[in-house]
């Protein structure tokens, strides 16, 4: 990594960070936009995070934040974007005019993936499987963009209802806490880890009789490329979307915060193809 006195330092904080794709994506973005940027991964346990993050802030211009630090990082920021504050999670941090700002690009990244795949959420009934951090960000974004209703099923109904409370307090979208087999769901989203290693042979959904060629089925998982959930949906004629687009687009949106620039749709599409080649190496 060649640096100069003008090189800007960015990085990612998580624990662990050995598997993260952000360094490859952000380095690709810097290369394509001719930005003098160095990007590194910072591993910090929850106990180490505060000291390491404050030290890194002295040198860096911004960070991506991944598990398990998306909530605790908010205590180290000057200003948190309203949507990130509502969700209760920050995944992008940038220094502007001497102050540290926090954003969340997970939900917008997923929405971008839907849009690229010609899927509109406005007026749609959505079923979400899972109620973790990613589900919270995605559900809030979909509700904020005009979804008619969102049903959330989870092992712990209280966690689903927590997201429902956010939806009801901040949007006009109806929250349904109970799965309704007779409701026509337009979009079904797996936001659980079921389907990824070591549970590739598991399926988080068992009501495929409601899936038709008019249903869009999405999985936030991108490895394996096609989960059992998506395979079953495809058999029934459903359009299927995996989590790679969300991974890529949330990173590009974070890069927009890093650089203060906005990029056209053609740039998102170009980076997706280049990042996919990197991913498959």
Tell me which residues are annotated as active site: 70
3-state secondary structure the chain: CCCCCCCEEEEEEECCCCCCCHHHHHHHHHHHCCCCEEEEEEECCCCCHHHHHHHHHCCCCEEEECCCCCCHHHHHCCEECHHHHHHCCCCEEEEECCEEEEECCHHHHHHHHHHHCCCCCCCCEEEEECCCHHHHHHHHHHHHCCCCEEEEECCCHHHHHHHHHHHHHHCCCEEECCCCCCCCCCEEEECCCECECCCCCCCCCCCHHHCCCCCEEEECCCCCCCCHHHHHHHHCCCEEECCHHHHHHHHHHHHHHHHCCCCCHHHHHHHHHHHHHHHCC
Beta carbons of 163 and 186 less than 8 angstroms apart: no
The whole-angstrom separation of Cα 26 and Cα 250 is 11
Buried b / exposed e across 178-205, counting CB within 10 Å, b at 16+? Answer: eeeeeeebbbbbbbbebbbeeeeeebbb
């Amino acid at each position: 990594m060649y640096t100069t006195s003008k090189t800007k330092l960015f990085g990612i904080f998580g624990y662990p960070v050995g598997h993260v794709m952000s360094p490859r994506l952000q380095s690709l973005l810097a290369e394509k936009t001719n930005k003098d940027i160095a990007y590194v991964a910072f591993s910090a346990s929850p106990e180490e995070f505060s000291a390491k993050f404050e030290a890194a802030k002295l040198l860096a211009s911004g960070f991506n934040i991944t598990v398990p630090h998306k909530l605790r990082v908010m205590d180290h920021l000057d200003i948190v974007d309203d949507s990130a504050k509502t969700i209760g999670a920050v995944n992008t941090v940038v220094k502007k005019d001497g102050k540290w700002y926090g954003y969340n690009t997970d939900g917008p990244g997923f929405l971008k993936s839907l849009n690229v795949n010609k899927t509109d959420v406005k007026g749609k009934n959505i079923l979400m499987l899972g109620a973790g951090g990613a589900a919270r960000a995605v559900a809030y974004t979909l509700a904020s963009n005009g979804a008619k209703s969102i049903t959330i099923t989870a092992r712990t109904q209280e966690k689903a209802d927590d997201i429902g409370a956010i939806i009801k307090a901040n949007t006009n979208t109806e929250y349904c806490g109970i799965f309704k087999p007779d409701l026509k769901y337009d979009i079904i989203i797996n936001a659980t880890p079921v389907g990824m290693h070591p549970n590739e042979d598991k399926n988080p959904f068992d009501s495929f009789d409601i899936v038709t060629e008019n249903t869009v089925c999405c999985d936030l998982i991108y490895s394996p490329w096609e989960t059992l959930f998506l395979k079953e949906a495809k058999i029934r004629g459903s359009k299927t979307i995996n989590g790679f687009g969300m991974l890529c687009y949330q990173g590009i949106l974070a890069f927009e915060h890093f650089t203060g620039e906005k990029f056209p749709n053609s740039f998102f599409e170009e980076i997706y193809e280049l990042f996919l080649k990197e991913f498959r190496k």
